[in-house]
Structure 1
Amino acid sequence: MATARRMVVIGGDAAGMSAASQARRLRTPDELEIIAFERSGFTSYSACGIPYWIGGTVGSRDELIARTPEEHRRRGIDLRLHTEVTEIDLPGQRVRTRTVADGAAAGGSAGAEDWTGFDQLVIATGARPVRPALPGIDAPGVHGVQTLDDGQALLATLERNEPGIGPGGAPGSKRGRRAVVVGAGYIGVEMSEALARRGYAVTVLNRGEQPMATLDPDMGALVREAMGGIGIHVVTGTEVTGIRTDLHGRACAVLTDDAAYPADVVVLGIGVRPQTDLARAAGLPLGPYGGLLTDASLRVRGQRNIWAGGDCVEVQDLVAGGTRHLPLGTHANKHGQIIGTNAGGGYATFPGVVGTAVSKVCDLEIARTGLLERQASAAGLRFVTAAIESTSRAGYYPGAAPMTVKMLAELRTGRLLGVQIVGREGAGKRVDVAAVALTAGMTAEQMTALDLGYAPPFSPVWDPVLIAARKTVAALRAHPA
C-alpha cells in the first residue's frame, strides 16, 4: 500500500484547523496524514469574543471555543499542542519544532526539538498585537489581547485588582480602579467598554484625531461621543512615550509627552501585524503590510505545495486594487475551507475582499465597507461623499433609533467606493447591502433602485442606505467630472 502523504499545519486556530478539518473530510488518514502544531493549549476559538468574555457578556472562556483539541483528534488530526514551529526548511520539506514550557508541564520536555517532514505545508500563524519598543512596555500589568492565553492573563490581573468581584460589574461603579487603553481601534474600543463594565475608570489614549481609524474622522467623532456617554475618557492626538512602573516593577501609569495617566492595568489596542517571522526567514514572499502573498487558491506565490491563510496573509482589495491586511475571523475561516479543499484534491479560490467590518461600543453599532476618504485618495481616485441622518425604523414606530450613513462614489463612473454606518440597534448589519453592491461593482445610481424589504418595524419607506445613495447621486450630478 502506498505511504500516505503528509500535510503539516502551523497554527491551530481558525484558518489552520479549518484547513485541516476540510482536508480530512476529503481525504482519509490512509490517503493524507495531517499534523497540526499549536503553540498554546487552545484551538478553534473566537478571538473576536475575548472583549465580551473580559466584560462578562460571555460567561466563560470555554464558550468561545468552537472545537476542542480532543474533537479534532477524534476526527483523525494529529494535533500537537504547546509545540512551536521555529524553522521552515523549504529545500528539505520539513519544519523544526520545539516544546514550550506549558507542554513540558503536561509531560513533555521543555525545549525539546524535532524535525517533521511534509508533502504539503499550511502556514496559519495569525497576527500579533503591536507592542511598540517603549520603556516599561513589557512590565507586568501591560496586556495585549489576541489569544485566549492573553485573555486569561488579563483576567488574572483584573481579578487581582478586584478581590471578590467577578466579570460583569455594573457600568460606572468605579471601585477606585483605573485602566488605560492605548489605541482606539476595534480592540481598543471594545476593551475600553469591557473594562468600564467591570467598574474601572477607563482612559483611552489615541494618536489619531478620533477613535476608530477604520472610519473617517467625522464618523469617528460619533463613536467618541458614545464612549463619553458611558464615562470613558478619550484623549486623542497624543503619543504614548512609555509605561511607568512601581517599586515592584508593575505598570502604574502610562506616560505621554505632557501627562501621566495612572493605571492599575494597561491594555494595548494599537492593532496587530501579520505573524510572519517564520515565513520571512524561509524566504517566502511578503507584501507591503508584512503579510504572506498568495495566489487566488491561497497557494504561496512561487511555491507548489505551501499554502497560507488567515491573519498572516494579505488579500486582494476588490475596490482599490493591490493587497490589504484585514485580520478578521470571517476571512480566516473561509481561507481554511479553501486551503483544505485544494490540499485535499479539490479546487476553490478566494477572490478578495471589499473590507467589511462591524463593531459596537455600548449600544452604538459601527460598520464600514470599502474605502475611507484617505484610502480613496491614496489610490488616486477622484470621488464625492454624502452623509445623511435617518432612523432604523419608520419614525412613528416605537424604538426607531437614529443612524448616520456616509457614502463615497467615484466621479465620472459613479461607482460605489465605500460606506460607513454609525447608529443604534438595526444600523450595523445594513452595511451588508453595501458590501454586496461593492462586490458587484454597482454605481450609486444603481443602488437607488435596489428592491429592499420594507415594513415600519424594520425601516423607513426609504431605507437609510438608499437615502444615502440618492444624496450621493445628487452630489455626483452637481460635481463636474
Structure 2
Amino acid sequence: MDKQTGKTVRERLVVIGGDAAGMSAASQARRLRSADELEIVAFERGRFSSYSACGIPYWVGGDVTERDALVARTPEEHRARDIDLRMGTEVTEIDVARRRVRARDVASGDASWTSYDKLVIATGARPVRPELPGMDAAGVHGVQTLEDGQALLDTLTRTRGSRAVVVGAGYIGVEMAEALLKRGYEVTVVNRGSEPMATLDPDMGRLVHRAMTDLGITMVDDAEVTELLTDGDGRVREVVTADARYPADVVVLGIGVRPETSLAAAAGLPLGAHGGLLTDLAMRVRGHEDIWAGGDCVEVLDLVSGQERHIALGTHANKHGQVIGSNVGGDYATFPGVVGTALSKVCDLEIARTGLREKDARRVGLRFETVTVESTNSAGYYPNAAVMTVKMIAERRTGRLLGVQIVGREGAAKRVDVAAVALTARMTVEQMTALDLGYAPPFSPVWDPVLVAARKAAVKVRGT
C-alpha cells in the first residue's frame, strides 16, 4: 500500500526454477496474495514443471507406465493460477544491486532483463559427471530431470545390446540398477566405495551388496572408473577401471549430485562448505532481505549433529517452497532443519536410514555405542515372515538416539519413521523402549524390531 496515494502497489516475485521448491513457493504465495497485489514470474529452462524426479527410476523400470504421471502440475495449470511460468527460459545472471535477473530463451537465444521486488532461487542440483575420457559419449546418461529420463529411455529403446553399467552405488545407482535389471539388461555396478549405499555404515551396506548379488547384479567395489571407451560411431562400449574393463551398451551415472549454485556464486550470495546456499530459518538467503532459496540448491541444518548439510530430496524441497511462499505472501513460517531420513529399495529389499552414521558421529566429536539386531517384519509364526536388520547408534552416557539404519523386506523401510520422530524429539533409547507402537501378528512381533534395538542400546549405554 502506497502511504501517499492509498493505492495498492503491485510487487513482482521472480522465481528461478520451475520444479518442487520454486513452484511450491510460487503457488503458496499466490494463495496468500492476489494477482492485483503480487505479480509472479517464474523461469524454467526445461520442458517440464513440478515433477517427481524421485520417480524417474520407476518410470524407466516400467513400474510407472506414463511420463506424465510424474508431473504434479503442468505449466498450463500454473498459468491458470496467474503464475507467469516461462518454460525453455534459462536465467543466466542475477544482478543483486539492481534487483533484476537476465533470462535467455533456450530456443532463440534472445535475452532480456526482468526486475524483481522479491526473488526465489530454486536452481536444484546437478549430477556429478567426472571429467574423464568418453564421459560425453553417446549412451552415457545422468538421471536428474525428466528430460534425462526420456533420453535414457530413448537410448534403451534404440540399443540392440543388453549390457548396462551403472557407475556409482548410492540411491540413484541402486535404483537404476533395479530399473535396468527389470528391462532385461545384464547389470554391472561399479562403485568406488567398499560397499554400496555409502549413506549406510559398511556393515549395513554389506547386506545390500549381498542382496544385489543374489538378484544377479554384478557388484564391483573399491573400483575407480578411469575412462569410457567408444566404438567408431562414438558410442560407449566399455567402462575401464585400473584393474578391468566392463562391456557396456549403455552407461548410467549414479555418482551423486551437487548444488547448482553457479548463478548464486557469481552474484556474490553466501555458500556453505558443501556449495549450497545458506539461509536463515525462514529460508531467506543470509544477509539479503528479499531473496529466498530452497530445494536442492541449499544447505540445511542437521538437527542431530548441529552442522549444515546438503541433502537433495523432494520432501525437503516442497517444504522449503511452502515456507518461502508463506513468508513472501505475508504470512510466517520456518524450516527448522532435518534429521536425514531417506528410503530406497532394490527389488524387494528395502533400505532406510535416519540420523548419523558412525563416521558422522565421530566427525562431530560424539562418543557412542552401537547395536545391531535381527528380527522379523511380522510375528515369527505368521506366514512369510521376513528377516529385518536394525542398527541403532546412541550417545554414550546420555543415551540420546543418534541414528538408525534398517535393511529388510516388506514393512522394513517405513519403520524408520519412528526413529525420525525420536531423533527430532531428542529422545533417549531408554525413552524409546516405552513407546506404544501398534501390534498385530501380520504387521509386527510383540516387540517391534526398532524397540528391540532400543532395549539393547539402552542396556549397552547403562553398562558404560
TM-score tier after normalising by the smaller chain length: over 0.9
CA distance in 1, matches of 2:235, 2:33: 51
The alpha-carbon deviation at position 424 of structure 1 amounts to: 0.2
Following superposition, the deviation at residue 3 of structure 1 comes to 3.9
Tell me the residue number matched to 2:3: none
TM-score scaled by structure 1? 0.94
Distance 2:370 2:97 in 1: 52
Deviation at 1:399, TM superposition (A): 2.5
For the pair 1:347 / 2:332, whether they are aligned, the reply is yes
Structure 2 residue aligned with 1:137: 135
Give the deviation of 1:478 after TM superposition: 2.5
Question: Contact between 1:226 and 1:362, CA under 8 Å: does it hold in 2?
Answer: no
Give unmatched runs, 5+ long, in structure 2. Answer: 1-6
Give the SS at the match of 1:266: strand
The reply to whether residue 187 of structure 1 matches residue 193 of structure 2 is no
Say which SS state the counterpart of residue 263 (structure 2) adopts.
Answer: helix
Letter of the 2:349 counterpart: L
TM-score between both structures, scaled by the size of structure 2: 0.98
Query: 1:475 Cα deviation (Å)?
Result: 1.5
Partners of 1:446 and 1:150 in 2: how far apart? 46
- Greater mean alpha carbon deviation, residues 435-444 or residues 391-400: 391-400
Q: Say which SS state the counterpart of residue 179 (structure 1) adopts.
A: strand
Select 2:54's aligned residue among 48, 51, 65. Answer: 48
User: Are 1:38 and 1:83, in contact at CA under 8 Å, matched by a contact in 2?
Assistant: yes
Task: Select the residue among 424, 431, 437 that pairs with 1:452.
Answer: 437
1:99 matched to 2:105: yes
What pairs up with 1:361-400 in 2 under 5 angstroms?
A: 361-400=346-385
Q: State the distance in 1 between where 2:296 and 2:341 align.
A: 15
Name the residue aligned to 1:172: none
Letter matched to residue 187 of structure 2: V
Q: In the alignment, residue 84 of structure 2 is paired with which amino acid?
A: D
CA distance in 2, matches of 1:234, 1:286: 36
Whole-angstrom distance in 2 between the partners of 1:339 and 1:12:
14
1:3-18 aligned at under 5 Å gives the runs 3-18=9-24
- In structure 2, the residue matched to 1:34 is 40
Alignment of 1:116-155 (within 5 A): 116-155=114-153
Figure out how many residues of one structure are paired with residues of the other and give that number: 458
Q: Secondary structure at the match of 2:228?
A: strand
State the AA in 2 paired with 1:40.
G
Q: Does 2:220 correspond to 1:235?
A: yes
Deviation at 1:242, TM superposition (A): 1.0
In 1, Cα distance between equivalents of 2:234 and 2:350: 39
Equivalent residue number for residue 58 of structure 1 = 64
Q: Do residues 156 (structure 1) and 141 (structure 2) align?
A: no
Query: SS where residue 452 of structure 2 aligns?
Result: helix
Q: Does the 8 Å contact 1:179/1:200 carry over to 2?
A: yes
Please give the per-residue CA displacement for 1:228-277, whole angstroms capped at 9, x wherever unaligned.
Answer: 12111010001000111111111111110111111000000000000000
The 5-angstrom pairing of residues 251-330 of structure 1 reads 251-330=236-315
Q: Distance in 2 between the 1:391 and 1:231 partners?
A: 25
Unpaired runs of at least 5, structure 1:
102-109, 163-175
Shift of 1:2: 3.8
d(CA) in 2 for partners of 1:293, 1:42? 27
1:24 matched to 2:19? The reply is no
Structure 1 window deviating more from structure 2 (468-477 vs 424-433): it is 468-477
Equivalent position of 2:232 in the other structure = 247
Aligned AA for 1:300?
V
SS of the aligned residue for 2:351 comes to strand
Is the 2:298–2:310 contact (alpha carbons within 8 Å) kept by the matching residues of 1?
Answer: yes
SS at match of 1:303: coil
Percentage of pairs with the same residue: 73
Amino acid at match of 1:412: R
Task: Give the aligned residue type for 1:53.
Answer: W
Aligned residue in 1 for 2:446: 461
Q: Deviations over 1:65-95 (max 9, x none)?
A: 0111110000110000000000000001000
Q: Distance in 1 between matches of 2:231 and 2:162?
A: 16
- Structure 1 residue 473: Cα displacement: 1.1
CA distance in 1 between counterparts of 2:171 and 2:395 reads 27
Runs of 4+ more than 6 Å apart:
none
Q: Deviations over 1:204-236 (max 9, x none)?
A: 000101000000011001111111121110100
